[in-house]
Each structure stands twice: as C-alpha cells, then as structure tokens.
Structure 1
C-alpha cells in the first residue's frame, strides 16, 4: 500500500500551490454549469446571498477553486444541530462545524507515489444528507486512494432551500445543487490530469441523497460524457418524495415561503421577500422540521421529466451501474431523526403519529399507504412486532423497491448492472443500538472508504475487528474494480453476478455470497399487487362518480 496525499481545494486566499509536477490551476478561474466563467479573481461565486440561486436560469452555478494544503473547509448552509445529532447517533467524530454560503469546495485524494504520467481512475464522491445536510469534509478518501491506487474527489454542493428551492418558473428554477455537481464534473474534466487522474475514466458515487444525485445525473442531458460509470448506495432518483413536478412545485414553494415568513403568493414577490431573509431565517423551516425535505424538481433543464417517466434503454446517459441497499435501511438512524421516542416502545397510537410525521417521505404512495400497512401489518397487534414491521415497510418503500426498480430500468440499456444488499452490523454499534437493528442506513460507507485503516478523526469505524478490516478491503476492491473496468469482480473476491433477468445480486456480509431476487415477495407487492389494487380503487371511484 502506498500513501495518499490529500489535496484540499479552496475558494479563497493565496495563489495556487505549486505541486511537484508543475502548476495546476490559474488563480481566480471559475467554471459554471453548463460552462461560462462568471467569477473574477479574488471574488466569490455569489457575492450576495441568493443572487445566483433565485435569479439565475441555470448558468450561474459555479465552482471557484484555489489549491491549498490547509485543513478542512466550511459546509454549505444547514442546520448544524441536525448534523451533530446524526454524528452522535452513529458515534462519529466530526470536524469543527461552520457554515457559509461560500461553500463550493472539493477535496482531492491522490496516491503519493504515482508517476508523473499516471492516468488513474477517478471517483467523485457525492455526500448524502437528504439534500438538506452534509459536506465533503466528513469523509476521508485517503485510505481508498492509497490502498486501491485511485484518485478520489469529494465535493460539496448547495443543499436545502439554498440548493433546491424552486418556484417552477424563471424566478427560481431550482436544482442548483445538481448544477454544482455538474460544475465539479466539469472541473474534473479540465484539471484532474494534474493529480494523476484520467478524465476519461470517471465514476460518480454517493450514498443516500448522494446516490440519488448520481442516479439523477445519469438521467440529465447536461451530464453526457462527463462520467463513465455510476454507483448509487442506498438512494436513487426515484426515491418517493424527492422529485416534484407541476403543479406541486408551486404549492411547495408557497409552503416554504410561508414557513420562512413570506406570505406572498406570486413568484416575483416571493423571491423578493426571501432574498431579504438571513441564512438562519431560511433554515428555520428545516430546523423546526416543518419542511423535512426540500425536493428537487423536474425543471425542463437539468431533468426533462420525472425519473419514473423515462423509457428504459432509450433515454438518459446509460453507463455501467452499481446499486444497492442495506438490509435495515429504516432500522435506527432515520426513525430516530423523525421521532426520537418512536424506538422506546410502540403501540397503534405511536405508529399513527409516526406515519403522520413521515408523510412527506411517502411521495406518490401517500394516498394509498393504507394498502401497504394492510400488507405488512396484517392482523398483528403485538407492539414489538408492529415496530419492526413499520421499519421494514418504510425501508422497502423508500429504499429497497426504488433500488430494485432502478436496477431493472438500467438493465434494459444493455450495459452491466450490479445489485447488492449490505448485511453486516458494525461491531462499533454493539452498545449503541437495539439488538434487533441490522445493517442500518449509511453503515456501509465506512467499509467502502476504508475507515478501519484511517487514523484521522473522520474514521467511521475507529473500532473494527480483523474480520471487518477484511470486509473493508473486499468492498474497496469491488468498488474500485468497478470504477476501473465497469466490472466489480477480481482476484480473491467472491464472484458478483451481473443483475440480468435472473435478478442475481451480491449479499455483502463478513462473508459474501450471491443471492437471487432480493426480497422477492415484498418486491412483487410493490411492483404487481399494489398497482393492481390502486387501479381497482381508481376504477371504482370513477364508476361511483358516474352514477
């Protein structure tokens, strides 16, 4: 194993670092998506809060970078208390947290002893956080880079109201965070060779909202040619509740504005009012959980139509695709965030309260959710069983079903698709979570990034058994093999079957093995039984209205 040298990229201060193989970037240069430079030297991307967010038409998302070997940088505006609560829940150490609107940074990790002419595969990490929280500096890519000889880039993008607010018209088109991700991909195309990376071998990967982002980038006409492979961990573009279209965009914009103290109903006045608000005022709807998610939108620019409307094999930018979930996505982390007392004990009253708070996550299923509860709960009244069934239902609805559906969609492109289910509960959580919790949301990240081998405070697996270290080595190999060739398989690894019409996948535990038809009975409910029941209800309503 060789060492990895982190190269931190910043927006402010000084001149570019002179790296061993020569200068790499001109000070003050910026890149916008889709391409026009907009920020002069020594200024910021958006000199006034919200200027590029609420006035731009998609061409002002920018990434201004200067090279520095300094420490970590500021995060995009978000509710820090939520992030700190998350860190506590997963027993993770975070850097000192500060936020700023000037937050479009990226970090590059590259092997220290690469040759001058190296052309290594590049992996661009997109952080998760429900499109409302997170940051690049919470993830250390040095182990993955050093062990697997790859260049890793972790990026930041605008989140929450400042990243995704939309009025559905020219006043605020939305999807600014996605345009920031595109800007980072443009930067990689122009600069990554100076770090030993190959701009023609770029893999985008991310978890949760980061996986959703990777999945959405595949569907966007703006991303064509910017990456060659994609990995989506516990999140895809068709997650319920994360994309909205007209007329829901206008209704949602009104809700956000009202909760932010703006009662105006037309777009121009609404935007004018919001521009006057401080960052803290704009974060208040998320802080109070009145608006738990700021969804992305079908804007006709970044995304031409809803993810579920794309024709398999005919639209988007097909690339080899690796996608998967954990076997207890709704086991602990997310329900604790939504309703902390939910895990203390469960009866029907608590379940109903939990379902009410979780309504924004149901998306298209909200109107017919009673059909899902009938399927999963049956006649069960035992509180402990009900709790586990609620968690399974939400995990399947929000993560597993969308992942399997997306895998089938990409399969039709004719390019290889690989599906996984991560099943290992990290030993570090033995005293932190109830015994019934298995592999929860985000548990795989530390293994993918090689956290057992990190000495930094950012290690997600500061305590790991020898078996877990072996698991991490295997997962790093699978992921980077895929980034290198489009196929995760390699020497000394259990064979990972391609996801074809037999629907094989890889079960990833301390030992790996192939499986067939992930959660087949439950998936048939979501793909066959539920649509049939919904159509029957719609038919009966129509017949009743005609009487």
Structure 2
C-alpha cells in the first residue's frame, strides 16, 4: 500500500510542475524518478549493507510479453513506454518447476509474462561521472531461478560505485524449444538476454551507467551465457568485460542443432501429437503456461538428473537473426569471438549437493549400483563416444570399484567428487585453458574454497556449510535471505564480501581485478598458457599454479582436444 501511495504522490508532483520528458533528472523525497529515452520510470530508495542510500528500479518491462502469438518467438524490445513506469516491485517470475528443493522460495508471482529487469544505482547526487555497469545473468541450468530482488539483493555491490542490472529470461521449454527447423530454430531465451543488453545500451545512461563500460557476468548457466555472448554475433558491441563463474559451455560433446527429443517429450507430457514440428509447436502454443511448469519435473529420470536438459543450439540458417552459428568450443579455438578481459573460476565442491539425495535414498542408490551404465551416463553428462571406457575408468578412479553405501560419508565424498568434476570443474578447466590461449585479452582464474556461515549446501553431519559448493561465491556478492542472513561489517564473512565486491568493482571499472580503488592485498597476475597462475580465495588470498591439472588428466585422456 505504501509503494502505491508513493507512486501516486510522485505522479501528482510531476503533474504540478515537471514535464514527463524533461532532460533534467527529477527526484523527490518520496521516490526517485528517472527519465530515459524509452520513458519515465519511478523507483524506490533502499539502503546498502554499509548504510548507503541508493535508487532501486524493479520490474521494468524490457520486452513485449512473450505470450499468445509471441510464445516460442524471438523477443520484441520495448522502445517506448506509453505511460510512466511504476518500477517499485519485482516483475513476475518466469514459469518453472518448484519442488521444495534447495531452500528456494515458492513463487506465487509466476507468469509467462515475465521479461522484466531491475536496475540499482547510487543516488544522483553521488554520481559524479558515468559509472561502470554490471549486468548479471542468473543461474540454475536454464530451468529455474529469477532476478527477483530477494534472491539477488543489491545491498553488497551497491556499496561500490557501480550500476547493477539483473533480469529475467525465459526458461526451459518456453525459452529453449528447438525443433531445428524454421518452425522453432531455438535460443529464444538467449535472444531475451540480447534484448536486455540492447535495452541497457539505450537507457542505462539515464540511470548514471556508462553504456561503454558494461560487464556481463553470471554464475553456472549464467556463466555459460556469458561465454555464449562472447561468441554470438547478436551480442557484439553490447559489452566490454566478462565474468564467468562456476560454469562453462566447453562440454565434452559438440553442441546440437536442435533439441527435438525434448520437444517430443514436452508434447507427450501435454497430450500433443508428435507427428512433426509444425503440429508439436502448434499444439504447445495452445497450452496454458501452468501446464508447462507442472510438467517440468517429469523431464528428470531420477531425483534432479539429468540436471542439464534444455540448452542452447547451433542455429540452422532460415533467414532469422541467429544467436549462435558455430559450436562454442570451436569458436573459442578459432578466436572467433568478442575479445574482452575475463575472470573465470570454479569452487571446491561444484555440484556436490547432487550426491546426498542419492546416498540417502535406498531405491535410487540400488539403481545406481546395479545399472551404472544408464544412471552414470545421465548423471555425469557423458557422450556416447567412448562411453564404455569412460564408465569403467570413472568407476575405478572415483569409486575405486566399490559399490555406493547408504548414508556412507565415504560414498558421499566419492560420488560428490564425480559430480563436481563432470558437471563443472573439468569444463571450467577446459574453458580457462582455451581462453588463455586464444583470447587476445587477459584471463584471470580463481579457485573459491572459502567456507563461512553462508552456503547452498548444509552438511547432514554438522548442520552447517562444510565446503564451498556450486554457487556459494554468489552469496558474498548478493545477499539472499533464503540461504543466509545479510552479512554484517565485521568477521570472516564480512572480509570475503569486501574482497569479492572489490574484485568485481575494480574489474568492472578498469578491466583488471587488482587493487586500484579497492585493496585486495596482493597482485593477481593473468593466466597464460605457460604460467597458469590462479588465485585461491579462502580466509587468505594466495597464488598457485596449475589448478587441479593432475586430477583432470583422466578426463583429458577420455576426451582429448587440441588446445592450440
């Protein structure tokens, strides 16, 4: 109710004396107002962790609602707003499954009309010059999550002089349906991201952001997206630096040109015919979005496996604007990409949290032991090429040819390590080693091992985080009440927040994470092919070489590539 009163009051103030499209920035004690090339936008004030007041604009529609005839179509950017935009609350969450997993909140505000963004910026009086922009792409396997402000709060990063942009993009079937022909070429979710970047280029100056200093950043599938934008012809000129954390598109298998199998499965789940792509898409267009959301869990074969389902494709050319026209790993090897400074990382125990549901479930555990070929090939994303040898070696090296035991800490460690390396750690290793050879710009590599009070994984033995798992580094960049109380100003966790935000701020401003305006306490050199240095982030910051390379020799043997 108070937000509505603030909005009405500001409209009243404008009508009394300030033209809606004045070049002069408008501001009242009640709420901030920004006049952009696309129209006038009203926000709210908020306060950072250190007590700094900032402007918050939430729920800005950046593209037309992808509903009706626009379902399964590329997004259409909004050039002009017909009336002032009330950006005082988050936009709808894109349709997704919610299975009470991972302490994620239920989303009562879910809707197919979900292409909204949030912009957070220091007060106008605090912006002496245009500020660097951090454009953050949320994670969760292109299947889940949202940019909602209580999931990715700005209260840490806005203590720095940056403008932060978060946004939603279409997920799962509604975002990635691809039949490999002109009916559904694919990659619409990625084109949502491109449209969001174009919106930033057009409008971010009005929020105090520098359109010539945009850092694209993301975690997990958001990190995969970052690398894809470096390769995509649609994204050229829209960004100037990149941060890719805990995720890599350099998978063991080549990228497909369609996901027809998933399209057929979605059709069957919604009682649609599967005769051809035309009838599949025509029927799926008639189904309520809630029907998609309620079927997404049925794409899993067991627990949350396979974790990677809908994904990007290399688009065949049907005269459309193509997001990807070449395999991502091949593009990097050719140097066929936008060359910008980049930060890459992995954590100690990536995807470790996938192991406990198996080790604690006697039925799934029995199936894993007895049908290793089927279960392991799905869980660890193994291609058919060299599959038999891979299954034998992985079982020998990681499980030591022993069965997995119910509620066994040893079995948990072994299975968790296999999930870690197959899903994230080895692909990130491959990404960093390719980038430092083929990018003309510097590559910084870090290893996040810090364990504090915050974590996506809670140990069943201690009731606390006991290792740095997938996505944990984001909790020291974005407070999220579902995983951690907001970190204060003193203590171990506070030091990590200060270091992580310093690193991102330095990099966004200068294209270099090293101490300039914010002190990290050491010089972190870029990684090179002959000097593969990385920064280890724990209680202390230390430099090391050749991250986990001995551990990854098995994977290099199974799936060799020429790095040069």
TM bin (shorter chain) = 0.7 to 0.9
Q: Are residues 1:294 and 2:306 paired? A: no
Q: Are residues 1:110 and 2:110 paired? A: no
Gaps of at least 5 residues in structure 1 are 1-8, 30-41, 89-93, 535-547
**CA deviation string 1:129-165 (max 9, x = no partner):** 1101111114444334432111000011111111111
Partner SS for 1:297:
coil
Q: Are residues 1:271 and 2:296 paired? A: no
Deviation of 1:381 after TM superposition, in Å, equals 5.0
Gaps of at least 5 residues in structure 2 are 1-6, 15-19, 28-32, 42-60, 302-306, 317-321
Q: Are residues 1:440 and 2:469 paired? A: yes
Deviation of 1:305 after TM superposition, in Å, equals 1.8
> Paired residue for 1:508?
537
* Change in CA separation of 1:433 and 1:289 when aligned onto 2, cut-off 3 Å: farther
Contact 2:66–2:75 (8 Å) recurs in 1: no
Which deviates more from structure 2 when the two are superposed, residues 368-377 or residues 349-358? 349-358
> Paired residue for 2:58?
none
Which deviates more from structure 2 when the two are superposed, residues 433-442 or residues 405-414? 433-442
Deviation of 1:46 after TM superposition, in Å, equals 3.8
Q: Are residues 1:157 and 2:176 paired? A: no
**CA deviation string 1:174-225 (max 9, x = no partner):** 1111111111110111111111110000001111111111111111111111
**Partners of 2:62 and 2:163 in 1: how far apart?**
29
Matches within 5 A, 1:361-372: 362-365=380-383, 368=387, 369-370=390-391, 371-372=393-394
Matches within 5 A, 1:339-354: 340-343=357-360, 349-351=367-369
Partner SS for 2:35:
coil
**Partners of 1:63 and 1:399 in 2: how far apart?**
38
Q: Indicate which of 475, 478, 486 corresponds to 1:462.
A: 486
Q: Indicate which of 331, 341, 352 corresponds to 2:352.
A: 331
Deviation of 1:71 after TM superposition, in Å, equals 2.2
Contact 1:504–1:515 (8 Å) recurs in 2: yes
> Paired residue for 1:34?
none
**CA deviation string 1:231-278 (max 9, x = no partner):** 11111222468x8414x6333322232233223231111111111111
**Partners of 2:219 and 2:151 in 1: how far apart?**
12
Q: Are residues 1:87 and 2:103 paired? A: yes
Q: If the length of structure 2 is used for normalisation, what is the TM-score?
A: 0.78
Deviation of 1:311 after TM superposition, in Å, equals 4.6
Deviation of 1:284 after TM superposition, in Å, equals 3.6
Structure with the bigger percentage of helix: 1
**Partners of 1:219 and 1:122 in 2: how far apart?**
20
**Partners of 2:547 and 2:446 in 1: how far apart?**
9
> Paired residue for 1:378?
400
**Partners of 2:26 and 2:252 in 1: how far apart?**
45
> Paired residue for 1:494?
522
Q: Indicate which of 261, 266, 272 corresponds to 1:262.
A: 272
* Change in CA separation of 1:59 and 1:457 when aligned onto 2, cut-off 3 Å: closer
Partner SS for 2:352:
coil
**Partners of 1:64 and 1:46 in 2: how far apart?**
14
Contact 1:324–1:403 (8 Å) recurs in 2: yes
Q: Indicate which of 67, 76, 85 corresponds to 2:85.
A: 67
**Partners of 1:193 and 1:318 in 2: how far apart?**
24
Deviation of 1:111 after TM superposition, in Å, equals 1.1
Partner SS for 2:173:
helix
Partner SS for 2:155:
helix
> Paired residue for 1:98?
109
Q: Pairwise CA RMSD of aligned residues?
A: 3.4
Partner SS for 1:129:
coil
Deviation of 1:120 after TM superposition, in Å, equals 0.5
Q: If the length of structure 1 is used for normalisation, what is the TM-score?
A: 0.80
Partner SS for 1:281:
helix
Contact 1:61–1:179 (8 Å) recurs in 2: no
Q: Are residues 1:206 and 2:229 paired? A: no
Partner SS for 2:534:
strand
Deviation of 1:410 after TM superposition, in Å, equals 1.6
**Partners of 2:287 and 2:182 in 1: how far apart?**
20
> Paired residue for 1:475?
500
Deviation of 1:485 after TM superposition, in Å, equals 1.4
**Partners of 1:459 and 1:389 in 2: how far apart?**
25
* Change in CA separation of 1:431 and 1:22 when aligned onto 2, cut-off 3 Å: closer
Contact 1:53–1:172 (8 Å) recurs in 2: no
**Partners of 1:410 and 1:531 in 2: how far apart?**
18
Partner SS for 1:299:
coil
**Partners of 1:382 and 1:173 in 2: how far apart?**
42
**Partners of 1:396 and 1:270 in 2: how far apart?**
36
**Partners of 1:427 and 1:48 in 2: how far apart?**
42
Partner SS for 2:559:
helix
Partner SS for 2:504:
helix
**Partners of 2:280 and 2:361 in 1: how far apart?**
41
The number of residues matched between the two structures is 489
**Partners of 2:452 and 2:361 in 1: how far apart?**
22
* Change in CA separation of 1:343 and 1:204 when aligned onto 2, cut-off 3 Å: farther
**Partners of 1:432 and 1:391 in 2: how far apart?**
13
Contact 2:243–2:344 (8 Å) recurs in 1: yes
Contact 1:95–1:458 (8 Å) recurs in 2: no
**Partners of 2:229 and 2:528 in 1: how far apart?**
23
* Change in CA separation of 1:277 and 1:87 when aligned onto 2, cut-off 3 Å: same
